[in-house]
Structure 1
Amino acid sequence: MSYPNGLVSQGNQPLFSFGVITDVQYADIPDGRSFLGVPRYYRNNILVLQKAVQNWNNHQNISFSLNLGDIVDGFCPKDQSLEAVKKVVKEFDKFNGRVYHMIGNHCLYNLPRSKLLPLMTFPNVERAYYDFSPIREYRFVVFDGYDISAIGWPHDHPHTIDAINLLNKKNPNLEKNSPVD
């Protein structure tokens, strides 16, 4: 879903507007269902993104847009994931303003961050957290929720080891991705 959000100052004049989209979850695979049974329209998701970008461009005063992650779906075949990410990023590139990306778990199920970050034009391709100020009075801080994570890093990376140690300490489940106690 995309929509412009105006941050309002005195006199009800927007200081700036921005677009937001999340969970594009594109994959060049037949439609399916989520783990909870919700229908997924993988190929159609690129059309939804195209409409969002067109809407932002037509709005003419969108300062920037935020992609909140998961541009590819976890079911995207690994051998197609790099091309799928490139295809989605190419659609984001059609926006007339700056796009700020976040990585999501579905992105990291498919590709290591070393391949994702350069494609998604992070301000610093070494990390997925950063900040930016669209105007002097406002600062956006973007966190990397998967910095310490069992996905997205090599298995012997210190961040992976820290994540697995924390999971083993705090999560009693044999299947660490299970919410069952």
Structure 2
Amino acid sequence: MVKTNCYSLLICLLLLVHGMAKGQEPIVRFGVIADIQYADKDDHGSRYYRNSLEKMDSCIVNLNQEKLAFNVVFGDLVDQGPKDLSPVMEHLKKLKAPYRNVLGNHDYVNVSDREMLYKQFDMPAPYYAFEKASWMFIVLNTNEVSEYGSKAGSSFQKEWQDLAAGLKKEGRKNVLPWNGGISSLQLIWLENQLKKAQKTKKNVLVFSHHPLFPETGYEALNNREILNIVEKYPNVKGLVSGHHHAGNFAYYHKLPSITLEGMIETSKENAYGVIELYPNKIVLTGRGRMTSRTLNF
């Protein structure tokens, strides 16, 4: 009887340990890269434009050793628009896991057909959403309403002019030539995606080039409008962006906002990472200059 009870207890313990271990497995793992900003031009300050291809080589070798569902590049793949895009895209095609791109302000340099720019970056649309397991990932285009991203005479340009004028009156510090925001149409689309995710019981991460928070002058022009929508949905678990090469982090209320360090900075030190999504936390493991973080929710 004693032996039987001990055996049963051992089985229970093994099942418990197995269950705990299984619960600690990430639901989704994906690679993150921000601000490659490659250009065939000489270095300037802390930006080493040509070195980005060498950094991509080592980054891709490392990411290909990981079991990833996909990879995300958070904008500014190039420094001076699509004329330098070809070698960057050739590098991204070496990734074993699919890549998802986000448009950044430098990607718009010397672009005439702004509405179709996304096609050159192998994106399904200027802004889009995709799902993996129990998660939805929403990719915003925070260049849509901007001085550089809006076509002359378009409704987007009018929205930018009105938005910029209002922000200047408020004394905001983010009305700068390299910052942009999203249109009223994209705001509606964003809320519809969040409603869909809520209905299907999916957690959400929101991706953008310009940070939504904190407000340091690098944030999207209408970040407050975006945040007002996002915070209504408790299934949104985090915001991830690029643009500010030094990186940053803050909580908007209880919502973590991660700004990833840019690959372009420094001559040799890289910056990329892997994000793991668990049932109760987000874990970012940074490589090189990218900061590692564990965010419980």
Q: TM-score normalised by the shorter chain: which range applies?
A: 0.7 to 0.9
Q: Indicate whether 1:56 and 2:63 are aligned.
A: yes
1:140-173 residue CA offsets vs partner (Å, 9 max, x unmatched): 1111112222222321121012101221233158
Aligned residue number for residue 123 of structure 1: 124
Query: Among the aligned pairs, what percent are the same residue?
Result: 27
Cα distance in 1 for partners of 2:54, 2:88 equals 10
Q: Indicate whether 1:170 and 2:137 are aligned.
A: no
Gaps of 5+ in 1: 1-8, 34-38
Aligned residue number for residue 53 of structure 2: 46
Q: Indicate whether 1:113 and 2:114 are aligned.
A: yes
Cα distance in 1 for partners of 2:93, 2:116 equals 18
Q: Among 21, 26, 31, which residue is 1:19 paired with?
A: 31
> AA paired with 1:139?
M
Question: How many residues get paired?
Answer: 153
Structure 1 position 115, deviation (Å): 5.0
TM-score, normalised to structure 1's length?
Answer: 0.75
1:8-42 residue CA offsets vs partner (Å, 9 max, x unmatched): x9532122211000000111001112xxxxx1100
Aligned residue number for residue 152 of structure 1: 149
> AA paired with 2:131?
S
The structure number with the bigger radius of gyration is: 2
Cα–Cα, structure 1 residues 114 and 86, in superposed 2: closer, same or farther, change >3 Å?
A: farther
Q: Among 119, 130, 133, which residue is 2:131 paired with?
A: 133
Cα distance in 1 for partners of 2:87, 2:142 equals 24
Cα distance in 1 for partners of 2:25, 2:164 equals 47
TM-score, normalised to structure 2's length?
Answer: 0.48
Structure 1 position 72, deviation (Å): 1.0
Q: Which has the higher contact order (CA 8 A, sep 6+)?
A: 2
Cα distance in 2 for partners of 1:166, 1:146 equals 13
Whether the aligned pair in 2 keeps the contact of 1:20 and 1:66 (CA below 8 Å) is yes
Cα–Cα, structure 1 residues 113 and 93, in superposed 2: closer, same or farther, change >3 Å?
A: farther
Secondary structure at the aligned position of 2:94 is classed as: coil
Whether the aligned pair in 1 keeps the contact of 2:38 and 2:52 (CA below 8 Å) is yes
> AA paired with 1:116?
L
Aligned residue number for residue 65 of structure 1: 71
Aligned residue number for residue 102 of structure 1: 102
Whether the aligned pair in 2 keeps the contact of 1:86 and 1:119 (CA below 8 Å) is no
Structure 1 position 91, deviation (Å): 1.0
| Bigger Cα displacement from structure 2, 85-94 vs 17-26 | 85-94
Structure 1 position 110, deviation (Å): 4.0
